[in-house]
Amino acid sequence: MSIINYASREIQFKIVYYGPALCGKTTNLNYIHQRINPQNRGDLVSLATATERTLFFDFLPLNAVVIKGFVTKFQLYTVPGQVIYNATRQLVLRSVDGIVFVADSQWEKMEENVESFRNLTENLTRQNMSIDEVPCVLQYNKRDLTNIAPVNYIEYVLNNGKKRLQSFEAISSTGQNVFAVLNAVSQILLHKFSKQNEVPRATPLAIAIPAENVMPHDENLTV
């Protein structure tokens, strides 16, 4: 849970990148770490195996001035995607304020995407939280590959809850829409704490993908 320190005028928020194994969660944090102004970030900490698979979590602290009079600290975490590390995912989800669910767009990964999303909702429920209440954005990653499912299909299998989540196509390895996703989840969670509670719609950047896969899908509607 976020907390405001009036003495230092700081607010902290925790954003977790969640998704199946090898979907690109760590790549998102790597890109943000490389491309953000170094004055606005700390070190990227990775607790990984010798083969670069996330063992515990990756962690990247970011600073921003987005709320009048306060320094806002965003702490980005990834979870280990491998199925066996569910206990670790539960630990990292503790006190989460916002979630980016990274889905792998490849056809053969759809089952893993669905299973990981189900695992996310179960782990939130264990913490007395609900996917409908926690600010969450979907990132459909790896849109540059050839064997990918159309966006409307991924929407159908993942974004079918009571509340339609905002979703973005992305290529985390080249950084396309990586910042758009981070900004979208940050704005949603900030406005969760505002009186008006209305989030301005984020506009995803155009992304270079095969024409037959382009579908309009920017939704933030409650059905």
Partner 1 sequence: MNPIPVLTIQDVAMLDGVLADFLKKTEAELTIVIDRGGNVISQFGDMDLMEVTIVAALAAGSFAATRELARRIGEIEFNALYHQGNGRHVFMNSVDDDTIMITVFGSRTTVGLVRFYSAAAAQNVANILKSLQHDGHGLIFDATDISGAPIFTDANQASS
- Where on the chain is the footprint of partner 1 (CB under 8 A)? 1-8, 11-12, 14, 32, 35-37, 40, 42-43, 45, 47, 56-57, 59, 61-62, 64-69, 72-75, 77, 87-88, 91-92, 94-96, 175, 178-179, 182-183, 186-187, 190-198, 200
Amino acid at 209: I
Give whichever of 159 and 177 is closer to partner 1, judged by the CB atom. 177
User: Which helix (H) or strand (E) is 185 found in, with range?
Assistant: helix 178-192
> How many Cβ atoms from other residues are within 10 Å of residue 220's Cβ?
16
Give whichever of 41 and 143 is closer to partner 1, judged by the CB atom. 41
Give whichever of 32 and 131 is closer to partner 1, judged by the CB atom. 32
Q: Is the dihedral of CA 1, 99, 30, 190 positive or negative?
A: negative
Q: How far apart are CB 35 and partner 1 at their closest, in Å?
A: 5
Which residues face 106 on adjacent strands? 148
Q: What are phi and psi of 173, to 5 degrees?
A: -70, -30
CA distance 113 to 124: 17
CA distance 95 to 129: 10
Tokens of 14: 């925790």
Give whichever of 5 and 147 is closer to partner 1, judged by the CB atom. 5
Q: How far apart are CB 186 and partner 1 at their closest, in Å?
A: 5
Instruction: Tally the C-alpha atoms within 13 A of residue 13's C-alpha that lie toward its C-beta.
Output: 26
Give whichever of 156 and 193 is closer to partner 1, judged by the CB atom. 193
CA distance 151 to 139: 11
Q: How far apart are CB 36 and partner 1 at their closest, in Å?
A: 6
